[in-house]
Amino acid sequence: MRLLQIGLVLVLVGAVLWSWTANTSGTISPPHSLGTLTLKSQVVGPEAVAQVSELHGKKLPIQDAFVARYTGAQGALTAWVSLSASESEAADLLQRMLEGIRAGNRMFTGLTQEQLKGRDVYRVYGQGQSHYFYRSGVRVVWLAIEAGDGPALLKAALDSPL
């Protein structure tokens, strides 16, 4: 009887943890703020998926996406976030992005990598902006820092539910 109770508790705890971390709806939306920056505009759903795919010049294997612009006294950034069906698909997408940049992408230069908050975070420069990108579970996040302190804005993004 005691083992049955322990087993039931473990199943319930597992279900609660799964519900906190799983995205059962298959959709994502941007948070209303990143640190001191506030959400000013957003594109979500199929339109965002189309915009993200257009940037890559092909249809991507992603389930959902959003594009969100944030502004505030600390600066301004645009977040491009995609949702993959699995962590391995998100990792593959990130790997393809890295391969494209390493192959001599003329839009982005100066690729660097660092470990922040348990994630591999990559930085490039292009179009007059600093860009950071990383994978967070089943999501791939690309931040275009338009103004402000890039490292501080990156920290705010890493601390957020992007």
Would you give per-residue pLDDT tens digits along the chain (162 residues)? 544 333 333 333 333 233 333 344 589 999 999 999 999 999 999 999 999 998 887 788 999 999 999 999 999 999 999 999 999 999 999 999 999 999 988 899 999 999 999 999 999 999 999 999 999 999 999 999 999 999 999 999 999 999
Q: For position 25, what pLDDT does the model report?
A: 52
Contacts of 75 (CB under 8 A, 6+ apart): 37, 145, 146, 147, 148, 149, 152, 153
Do the Cβ atoms of 64 and 82 come closer than 8 Å?
yes
Q: For position 106, what pLDDT does the model report?
A: 87
Which CATH number is 25-158's, of 3.40.50.720, 2.60.40.1930, 3.40.1000.20, 2.30.30.100?
Answer: 3.40.1000.20
- Residue 43 in tokens: 């594109």
Dihedral angle of Cα 49, 134, 131, 66, to the nearest 10 degrees: 20
